Each structure stands twice: as C-alpha cells, then as structure tokens.
Amino acid sequence: MKTGVLLIGFFFLAGILKTWTNSTAHPEMSALKSDPNPSGRSFAVVELFTSEGCSSCPPADKLLAEIVEEAAKKQQRIFALAFHVDYWDYIGWKDPFADWAYSDRQREYAAIFRRSQIYTPQMIVNGQSEFVGSNRSKAESAIAWALSQSQMMEIKLQKLGGAQVSELRLSFEVSPARKGSVLHLALVERDLVNNIKRGENSGRTLSHDNVVRVFKTIALNGASGETVLMIPSFVNLKKSSIIAYVQDTATLKIVGASSIDSL
C-alpha cells in the first residue's frame, strides 16, 4: 500500500516538473509561435486604384495616407502606391495624375481575379487579395496577413550618383533569380493637393499620398542590372520615394519589395 502511494506521488511530482520545464526551459519556442517571421523581412505592397473624378475615392485616398503614416510609426515594411486611372477622365474632370497604363494594370488584375469589370476605389495587397479601397477592416486584415508571410525574394536597390532634374539612375539586384518574374519600379510622390472644379468631386480640395508618377517594368532575365527612370519636371523629388517590387507574371503574386525613401 505504501509502495503504491509512493509511486503515485513520484509520478505526480514528475508531471509537475515536466510541465514547469516545458514552460520555462525554451522561451524562444513561444516567441517563434507569436512571430511567424522573426527575421522581420515580411512586407505588404498596397496598390490603390483611384481617381479624382470618383466621389467614392477620397475616403480610400485618406485610408492609404493613414496606412503610410501608421507604417512609418511602427517601422513596418508596407509599400503603398496610388495608381490614378484614366477612365473617369471623360465624366467632367480630367485627373492630372491619371495614366491609361494604370487602367491597363488594373485590367490585368481583373483577369486574375475573374472580374468582368474594373472599379474604383480598389485596393490590392501583394497581388493576392482585392477589396473596396475604403474598407478599413479588410485592408487591415489583408495587410496583417501579408506581414505574417516571409519574403520570397530579396531586392537590393541603389541610387547611382545624385538625382538629376530629368533622370534617376538605379542599380538593382534580385535574389534568388527566377524566370517568369518582373521588377516594377515606381516613383511615388507625397503631399499632393488639388482643387477639383468639375465632376463628382466638384468644389472639393483633395489630398493624396504616394501617387505613382513614374512606373517602369523590367523583365528579370538576370539577377542584376541598371536602369534609368525619366523624371517629369513637375515632380518634387524631395517629397518622393522609389518603390521596387517583384511580381510573378503568371499569378501576379508579389514576392518581394524594397524602397529608397530619400532621393
């Protein structure tokens, strides 16, 4: 009888010791579970398709600006781009930031997402999730998911020489090199304000951040190279950044991103 009691006591004590050991001996295990990407190389590329001619777009523009501000405070690798499309230009107001190429880019996404038509405002995160651009909860959810994933490709971007009035020379290196991918280089400008005189937003003063002013796509036939971005005379380089990101041409999934914030 005494032997049985002693055995029960022994196993009970062993269980306590095992539980205590598991909870204290390997604290890095709990950290690993709470941070699925401990290297900090996660990222989120947030593309907003918008227009000054669209009355539903100002809230989305404001949300994008808040995303940029919050990312800076938290030092998160969130790369925001506002693509102004041109298909609203024929309804009373011509958006000075719009480009037909950005509308075509949005149509490429529509084909991937199997949408019969494009719309504004539309926000797309890492080329994988899309939703109405003013939907804060969906934006936060999509960005949080993106930041939980590991970056598949590293991009090293370097400015060559000083920024000239008309051009910007850059070198890039992508690893690992992979066929079927392209490198996008976007010059984005902040703190843009415009007074709208006609159209759906007539009489309003609209503010914009990270507006895409120059966009260049390079086929990644090799792992490195150099290129030149032609800079329009109306762009203020002191309020601009370069955002680079790699995208799979078949799925449009974005697999890596980087930036140069001071030009």
Residue 56's pLDDT band (boundaries 50, 70, 90)? very high
Kindly tell me the burial class for residue 25, based on how many C-beta atoms sit within 10 Å of its own C-beta (0-12, 13-18, 19 or more).
exposed
pLDDT over 80 (residue 248): yes
Rounded CA-CA distance 74/85 in Å is 30
Question: Is residue 245 included in any domain, yes or no?
Answer: yes
**What's the pLDDT at 162?**
62
Instruction: Tell me the average pLDDT across 165-194.
Output: 93
Please tell me the predicted confidence (pLDDT) of residue 163: 54
Q: Which of 145-159, 168-182, 201-215 has the highest mean pLDDT?
A: 201-215
Q: How crowded is residue 58: how many other Cβ atoms within 10 Å of its Cβ?
A: 21
Helix or strand or coil: residue 211?
A: strand
Total count of domains within the chain: 1
Is the model's pLDDT at 34 over the cut of 50? no
Residue 4's pLDDT band, with cuts at 50, 70 and 90, is: very low
Q: Which domain holds residue 142?
A: 44-260
The mean per-residue pLDDT over the stretch 183-198 comes to 97
Kindly report the CATH number assigned to the domain that includes residue 218. 2.60.40.10
* Residues 155-174: tens digit of each pLDDT: 999 999 765 568 999 999 99
Pairing state between β 224-230 and 167-175: antiparallel
Residue 93 lies inside a defined structural domain of this protein: yes
Cis peptide before 176 (omega within 30 of 0): yes
pTM confidence score: 0.84
Is residue 246 domain-resident? yes
The distance from CA 34 to its chain's CA centroid, rounded to whole angstroms, is 23
